Amino acid sequence: MHPLLSLGVFWLLPLALTLGEDSPLDCIPRRTVLYNRDNAHLFHEEGVFNYSTMLLREDLGLLMLGAREAVYALDLNNVSKKLASVKWEVTDKQKTDCKNKGKDLETECKNYIRTLHKMDDNRMYVCGTNAFDPECDYMSYVDGILTLEKKIEDGKGKCPFDPFQRYASIVVDDSLYSATSMNFLGSEPVLMRNSDTSIRTEFKSSWLNEPNFVSMAQMPESEKSYQGDDDKVYLFFSETAVECDCYNKLVVSRVARVCKGDVGGLRTLQKKWTSFLKARMDCPVLESQLPYIIQDSYRWCDLQQPWKDCLFFAIFTPQSDTSGLSAVCVYRVSDISRVFAEGKYKSPVTVETSFVKWVMYSGEVPVPRPGACIDNAARKEGIKVSLDLPDRTLQFIKDKPLMDHVIQPIGEKPLLVRKGATFTCIIVNQAQAADGNKYHVMFVGTEEGTILKAVNYDGEMFIIEEVQLFKPPEPIKILKFSNVTGQLYAGSDYGAVQIPLATCGRSLSCMDCVLARDPYCGWDKVAGKCVALSDAQSELIQSVKDGNATLCPGADPVKPVNQIIWPGGNLKLHCPSPSNLANIMWQQDDRSLSFSPLILHQPDGLLILNASYSNAGRYRCVSVERSKVAEYTTTIAEYQVNVDPDAGKDGHRFGPQPQRGGPSVAGLQAVVGLLVVSILALLAWNFYKGHLPLPWECRNKNREQSQQSHEQGDLNATVTKGPALAEDKPLVSGADNGSRNNNHTDGEVGFSAAEGENAPEVSLPSLQFIDDESEI
C-alpha cells in the first residue's frame, strides 16, 4: 500500500469517530446570507481579473487595488467608485519571449501586480510579474491622478516570475523584505532584503526546501527591551521537510525570523542572513497523522500592550483532500520568540555514508548564540554588527538553521475546526461588547467566495454568520479592513467588494438581535431596532456570552394573513427561518401539524397539495432556538386558511385562461390542413424514390423472415435437444411516469386565491417521478 494512503486511512479513523459525537465540526453559522447585490459594494472592470493585491491608503481615503495589468485607486468609503487607474501592460516583444519559453500567452504572459507598498516619501512601490520577467516601479497619486513614474527596476527577488506562485513581502524602514523565487524556473527560493545592504538566504535545502510562502510580519522587539534586542521580521511558509524519515515527501508548516539590523557575515555568509532561524508549527486537528499546512496568517496586536502579548492567527488545511476540514490556530509571539532565543537546534547526521538524519543537537553551542540578534551582551564583547560575528558562530547557523522544538498553538488545539468550504485567508478585529469585555472577531475567507464571521466566547466557538460575496462563487484571495471606515475589503479573481464589520440591520427583532451574539450589535430600546454599539442612543440589550434574550420586551403579536383556496387547489404558506440553529414547527388550530404526502414541510414554508375542507384553519409557524441559558420560541408567521369552492369566481381565475385576441379558429384549421398536406406529399415522394418501403412489401418481407427463422429454429432444436439456457425476460420494466402526476381532473395544478394585498406569492414545485435511488 502507498505510504501516504495508509497514513490517510489511519487519519480518517479518529475523524469518523469524532463526527459521530458532538464536536467542533457541528459549529455551523447561525445565519447564512445568500448573494445579493445589496450585501456589498462591488468593483469589477470588464476584461480585468485577479484583484488580489491591496494597499489601504487611509491618509488619502483610498483603497489601492492591484489586478492583472492594472492598478486602481478606489474610494475607501465606496469601492464601487473608481477615482483613478493606471494600466501596466506587457509589450508584444515580452509576450513573444514569454510564449517562446513555453508559457501560456493568455494567462501567464501578462503582468500580474504582486507587490504594492507605501514608502516613507508617500509614494508607492509596485511590482508585477511582467510576462515572467518581473519589474518594479514607483507610483504616485496627486490631484486625483495615478501615475507610474517609469523608473523601472529589476524585480528579481522582489516579485515572483510565476503569477500563480505563492509569495510574501513587507516594507520595514523603507526596505523591502520579500520571499519569492530568484529565477525563471522557480527553483531558487529566497528570503531577501532589498536595500543598500541587500542580503538573502542561502540556496540550500536545509534553509528553504521547495517552499510555499504565505505571509510576513514585523515585530518591534527592540521597544523597551532591557537586553537591547533588535526588531524582527517573521516569515510564515510551508516546505518539504528535510528532517522527516519517510519514503515520500512530507510538507510541514514553518515560521522563520531574521533580525532587522542583520548585514551578513564578513567571510562566512557574506551578504547572507546570519540570523535566519526557522521552526516547525503544529496545528493538531483530530489527532491527524499528516500535519496540516498553513495557508495564511494575521498578526494582531493591542497597541496598549507590549509586543509579547501579540498573537498570530493562522489558517491550516489538510495535505490530503479526503477530510474537507479547515482550522484556525492561534500562537503567542512570546512563545515563538522563546523557541528561537532558548530552544535546541536540529543537526544533520550522516548515517551509513549516504542517508542524512536530523536529530536534536546536544553539543556545545558557540557564543554569541547562533542566529541571535546583536544585543547588549554582544556589544560588551566588541560585537557591534553582524560583520563582527566569529566564523564559528556563522558556520554553525549556516549548517543548522532549524530548531528542534515544535511551536504549539494556545491550548495546544485549534480555535476553530470546520468541515466545508476550504479556508483561504483570515483577518481579525477586536470589538468591545456592551459588557465591557473585548473579543477577537475573526473574518475568514473561503474558496466558495464566502466570509465567516466568528468569535470564541470562553472556549465556545460561535459563527455569527456566513455571507456570500461573489456570484459565481470565487475564492477569496485577500482580506483587509479599515478602522477609519469600519469596513472590510475582500479581493478575488472576479473583483473586489466592501462590507461593514457590523451588520446589525439583518436582525429585525430583539430576540433575533440578542441570539445573534454579535459583539458589534445590540438592541436599542428607544429606537426599537438592532444597532451598532457605536450608533446607540440609549441602553442596549446584548448578551454575547450566553445569548440571554429574557431581557427583551414582549414582541408584538403577529397579524394573521387570510388565505383562500378552493378544493383540490394548492397553497404555499411562507415561513423563512431566522436562524440555522432554530427548529421550525407548524401548528394548525394550536395543535402540532402532522405532515403527509399532501402536506409538505419545506425549508422556506409549508406546501398544501390537493386541498380539502380539513385543511381549513389557523396555521402558525414557530421558531424554536436554544442558547446557553434557555430555549426561545418565536411566532414567525400566522395564516387563516379558508377553503371556498367559489374562490376562483368573480373575475379571480388562477387556472389556465382562454386566449383572447389571438388567431381565429378558421385560421388555425387552415394551418393544420397545410401541415397535413405537406406531410402526405413528403411521404409520397419518399415512397416513389424508394427511401421508404411500401406497407405491403414490409408485410411480405416480415412473413419471409418469420418463416426462415422458424425453419432455422427447428434445425437448432433438432441438433441440441437440450433445455433452454436462459429465460426470455425483459431487462427493464418501465412505467408511464406521466400518469402518476395527474392528480387533477383538468390536467393542470391550480393556484390558491388570496384576499387583499397580503396574498403571499405562490411557488409550486414540479412533482417528478424519481426512478433512481441515487436521486433520493
Q: How many Å apart are CA 478 and CA 358, to the nearest integer?
A: 36
Q: C-alpha 596: how far from its chain's center?
A: 38
CATH of domain 167-299+329-412: 2.130.10.10
Contact 274, 389 (CB under 8 A): yes
- Per-residue model confidence as pLDDT tens digits over 668-710: 566 667 777 778 877 776 767 666 665 545 444 444 444 444 4
What CA–CA distances, in Å, run from 721 to 601, 712, 716?
A: 62, 14, 8
Q: Residue 700 is placed in which grid cell?
A: 411480405
Q: How many Å apart are CA 300 and CA 396, to the nearest integer?
A: 33
DSSP 580: T
Q: How many Å apart are CA 714 and CA 707, to the nearest integer?
A: 11
Q: How many Å apart are CA 603 and CA 37, to the nearest integer?
A: 23
Residue 308 phi, psi (nearest 5): -65, -20
What ranges do the domains of the chain cover? Answer: 167-299+329-412, 502-554, 561-643
Locate cell 421508404: which residue? 692
pLDDT of residue 660: 41
User: Of how many residues is the chain composed?
Assistant: 776
Q: Hey, how many other C-beta atoms are within 10 angstroms of the C-beta on 518?
A: 31
**What are the residues whose beta carbons fall under 8 Å from the beta carbon of 234, sequence distance 6 or more?**
216, 217, 218, 219, 255, 256, 257, 299, 312, 336
Per-position b or e across 622-643, b if 16+ CB within 10 A of its CB: bbebebeeeebebebbbbebbb
561-643 maps to CATH 2.60.40.10:
yes
Contact 320, 333 (CB under 8 A): no
| H or E segment and range at residue 456 | strand 450-457
CATH of domain 502-554: 3.30.1680.10
Tell me the HSE value of 704 on the side-chain side, using a 13 A CA sphere. 5
Q: C-alpha 190: how far from its chain's center?
A: 29
Locate cell 542561502: which residue? 202
pTM higher than 0.75: yes
Q: How many Å apart are CA 742 and CA 771, to the nearest integer?
A: 17
**What are the residues whose beta carbons fall under 8 Å from the beta carbon of 772, sequence distance 6 or more?**
none
pLDDT of residue 554: 83
Number of helical H runs and strand E runs in the chain: 8, 44
DSSP 26: G
Given a cut of 70, the residues of the chain with pLDDT beneath it are 1-26, 321, 353-354, 648-672, 685, 687, 689-776
Contact 29, 421 (CB under 8 A): no
457: β partners: 460
pLDDT of residue 26: 56
Locate cell 481615503: which residue? 61
